[in-house]
Amino acid sequence: MTELTYTAPKPKVIPGATGDWEIVIGMEVHAQVKSEAKLFSGASTKFGAEPNSNVSLVDAAMPGMLPVINEYCVEQAVRTGLGLKAEINLYSRFDRKNYFYPDLPQGYQISQLYHPIVGEGEVLVDMEPGVARRVRIERIHLEQDAGKSVHDMDPTMSFVDLNRTGVALMEIVSRPDIRGPEEAAEYVRKLRQILRYLGTCDGNMQEGSMRADVNVSVCRPGDYERYQESQDFSHLGTRCEIKNMNSMRFIQAAIEYEARRQIAILEDGGSIDQETRLYDAAKNETRSMRSKEEAHDYRYFPDPDLLPLEIDQAWVDEIGAGLPELPDEKRARFVLDFGMTEYDASVLTAEVASADFFEKVAAGRDGKMAANWVINELFGRLNKEDIALSDSPVSAEQLGGIIDLIGQKVISGKIAKDLFEIVWTEGGDPAKIVEERGMKQVTDTGAIEAAVDEIIAGNPAQVEKAKGNPKLAGWFVGQVMKATGGKANPQAVQDIVRSKLGLE
Ligand code: ADP
Ligand code: MG
């Protein structure tokens, strides 16, 4: 397979009163591990269950309860690391991150600060065909999620739901390699796509399966290149961290706001305080939550209840051998194998299900034509009517059947659209429908000639005009197509009209 070559997109530049500014972004994405059970207990992770029904004694932190690591969650983290072309650490370890909060009954979160399970990797963020940003992944560590405090159900009381407590999260930390709001959203989209391909996170942002902490700073042109060369952070501006974002649109809006807020302060001669901020979508602004000075002292130490996590290279290799084809590779293969554009390939490979659907339609058929029908006719229609591909009224077999009929010249492209409409609303076998409803294309030249003769005889004035202006032949073709109910082979009509009008 040939490698696709990429150039890096330009960073977003914001002009200020004192000169240009650039944005620098690093993200910490919390992705919920797709697993039936929690990280250290057998309790269910099912979303939407009755409050406090998915809580084991371990999750509730009853005295004397001991955590037991869920091997499947470890496997999912390794799979994710391999999918992000990252280094897998055969030795990792769990630490306690101590803090008090009502939805954290243990009084600490089990996480991996010093020895994460996954080291350096990368995500290619596609901005447009042939243009991608390589965003370095610094690390991925496994940790527990906390529960949920509910403050808006009662005027005087707060409630706590521990269903989420102890659910396995992967914290995926990027280097500050993202250079604009659109790129940040695209990074999350790409990461989500890869995780969904791998089956390690369902990527459902509404349900909170993926949340991002977004670190934003601004610098002058040239500073980022100096940082890249030296990896010395002092070339970059002071960052603020916007917590818990779960929508691509809000991520972009928050970065846009935050960068302008920082620029205004700097241009006024002020300096940026490193702090944690919250995005208020209703007001479209970020607000300070806590400053670095009041930052928690988490008193990290190795969790004495858990042994270091040691895994075998052989197991890692086995997981690696089972990895599916990932989005970048699938897209490149579609471009090469089916001769489609990068754009079409990225539409078709957005989800594994859509790529699989397309491949079924394309098998043994013209790839470009299959891509065109899947994207423009089927996906276009599904989108318009807000129907999921899994509920598509037209199956891959049926769509393939329609394409076969066009390829065999049994029907014209135009009739094929009518046929698609029938299959969409009524279902059925396309070939049978064409047979039963007399939709076959007329290729019998005798019948077409008769239709052409009739039109010519009935329109002597048009015939005169066409002799001086060959472009008018199209009008005759149109009339014949109309007279034959669109079933005449357009190429045959064209040829016969031209020869009868003496335009050859
Ligand atoms: P901490 O441990 O305090 O959270 P990290 O070094 O782990 O700090 O960085 C957290 C995130 O902040 C990472 O995603 C990193 O890429 C990002 N980051 C670090 N410095 C900057 C900066 N100057 N501008 C933007 N993002 C940054
Ligand atoms: Mg951090």
355, 284: one domain: no
This prediction has a pTM of 0.89
Query: Is the C-beta atom of 174 inside 6 A of ligand 1?
Result: yes
Q: State phi, psi for 178 to the nearest 5 degrees.
A: -95, 135
141, 285: one domain: yes
CATH number of domain containing 468: 1.10.10
64, 131: one domain: yes
Nearest ligand, CA 179: 1
169, 273: one domain: yes
Query: Is the C-beta atom of 236 inside 6 A of ligand 1?
Result: yes
Domain that holds residue 475: 445-500
Please tell me the distance from the alpha carbon of residue 342 to that of residue 128, in angstroms, as a whole number: 9
Q: Work out the percent of the chain whose per-residue pLDDT is above 90.
A: 80
Reading phi first (left if > 0) and then psi (alpha if -120 to 50, else beta), residue 467 is in: alpha
Query: Is the C-beta atom of 178 inside 6 A of ligand 1?
Result: no
Nearest ligand, CA 174: 1
160, 239: one domain: yes
Task: Tell me the CA–centroid distance for residue 460 and ligand 1, in Å.
Answer: 80
pLDDT (mean) for 252-263 = 97
Task: Tell me the CA–centroid distance for residue 498 and ligand 1, in Å.
Answer: 71
Q: What is the pLDDT of residue 5?
A: 66
pLDDT in tens, 453-482: 999 999 988 888 888 788 888 899 999 888
288, 339: one domain: no
Range from 89-93, 171-175, 284-288 carrying the lowest mean pLDDT = 284-288
Task: Tell me the CA–centroid distance for residue 14 and ligand 2, in Å.
Answer: 26
pLDDT in tens, 28-73: 999 999 999 999 999 999 999 999 999 999 999 999 999 999 999 9
pLDDT in tens, 263-293: 999 999 999 999 999 999 999 999 998 876 6
Q: Work out the percent of the chain whose per-residue pLDDT is above 70.
A: 98
DSSP alpha helix (H) spans, 242-289? 248-267
Kindly tell me if the per-residue pLDDT of 350 is higher than 90.
Answer: yes
Task: Tell me the CA–centroid distance for residue 176 and ligand 1, in Å.
Answer: 7
Look at the chain and report how many structural domains it folds into.
3
Sorting pLDDT into bands at 50, 70 and 90, what band is 4? Answer: low
DSSP 183: H
193, 273: one domain: yes
Q: What is the pLDDT of residue 396?
A: 98
Please tell me the distance from the alpha carbon of residue 105 to that of residue 294, in angstroms, as a whole number: 23
On whether the CB atoms of residues 8 and 18 are closer than 8 A, the answer is: no
pLDDT (mean) for 375-397 = 97
Note every long-range contact of 463-472, with CB atoms under 8 Å and residues 24 or more positions apart, other chains counting.
Answer: 463/501, 466/501, 466/503, 467/501, 467/502, 467/503, 470/498, 470/501, 470/503
Task: Tell me the CA–centroid distance for residue 302 and ligand 1, in Å.
Answer: 23
354, 486: one domain: no
pLDDT (mean) for 429-434 = 96
In a domain, 308, yes or no: no
Last residue of a domain, one of 384, 417, 436: 436
Q: State which of 239, 241, 262 you would mutate to test the pocket of ligand 1, scoring each by most atoms of that ligand within 8 A of its C-beta.
A: 239
Query: Is the C-beta atom of 486 inside 6 A of ligand 1?
Result: no
In this structure, the residue with its CA closest to atom 17 of ligand 1 is: 26
253, 388: one domain: no
DSSP string for residues in 261-293: HHHHHHHTT--PPPEEEEEETTTTEEEEEEEST
Sorting pLDDT into bands at 50, 70 and 90, what band is 295? Answer: low
Residue in 504, 77, 39, 31 with CA at minimum distance from that of residue 305: 39
Q: What is the pLDDT of residue 1?
A: 42
pLDDT (mean) for 175-186 = 97
In a domain, 346, yes or no: yes
Sorting pLDDT into bands at 50, 70 and 90, what band is 2? Answer: very low
pLDDT (mean) for 386-408 = 96
Tokens 């390589």 — which residue? 134
115, 20: one domain: yes
